[in-house]
A and B are shown apart, each in its own frame.
Chain A
């Protein structure tokens, strides 16, 4: 089973600054990697798929990179609405198992 590990668990950043979130897979997942944002009391929202493609309606300040086992989500200039929990997720095997990371909480510094 592929394990997804996100770091850090909590990231404190000031509004307007850049945030960099990491996700590591225990084995290669190619580019089958997605990122989600979850605000309190809300369902998750797809941000990034294919490791680097922004989902419909997602602002350009969100970008994803990486392949294989190392992935990064970057938020270039934090807005107040960006403070939330972020999850990475993969599926790259058969039979399919869809695995989420444990999440990174992005909080206001």
Chain B
């Protein structure tokens, strides 16, 4: 069955960088748009970024635009999120999710998440 496994989380100081990865299996990754969604401790879900199936389009939430970069390698079935200039408010569990439907508007498969803590 479809599965997503995130990695790369950890504790990082404000202003530093971190790269998250997500490995997909059980579905045709190269046909799927992919999202990153995050959830701060005790809070709701916040969409972070999306990348089209062929990598041709990427879109970001205003809160991360200019600091985060989403990318993918369809030959390796992997999705990445490069996070630069991290802030305390970026502290969250980061989920990767498979996008489905028009403009990948809903998230049909979710990973279990990786935790990012930004703290000095």
Residues of A within 8 A of B (CB): 32, 34, 36, 38, 42-46, 49-50, 55, 87, 89-92, 94-103
Distance, CA A42 to CA B95, complexed state (A): 11
Chain B residue nearest to A90 in the complex (CB) = B105
Q: Determine the interface band of chain B, counting residues with CB < 8 A from chain A.
A: 20 to 34
B40 sits at the interface (CB 8 A): no
Contact A98 B105 (CB under 8 A): yes
Q: Which residues on B sit within 8 Å (CB–CB) of A38?
A: 45
Distance, CA A4 to CA B100, complexed state (A): 20
Chain B residue nearest to A101 in the complex (CB) = B44
Contact B44 A87 (CB under 8 A): yes
The interface residues of chain B, by DSSP majority, are classed as strand
B54 sits at the interface (CB 8 A): no
Contact B110 A34 (CB under 8 A): no
Residues of B within 8 A of A (CB): 35, 37, 44-47, 50, 59, 61, 95, 100-113
Chain B residue nearest to A56 in the complex (CB) = B108
Q: Which residues on B sit within 8 Å (CB–CB) of A50?
A: 101
Contact A96 B106 (CB under 8 A): no
12 A–B contacts from the bound complex (CB under 8 Å): A32-B106, A36-B107, A44-B110, A46-B110, A49-B100, A49-B101, A87-B44, A91-B103, A91-B106, A92-B105, A95-B59, A96-B59
Find the residue from B100, B106, B107, B108 having the highest chain A CB count within 10 A: B106
B69 to chain A, nearest CB (A): 16
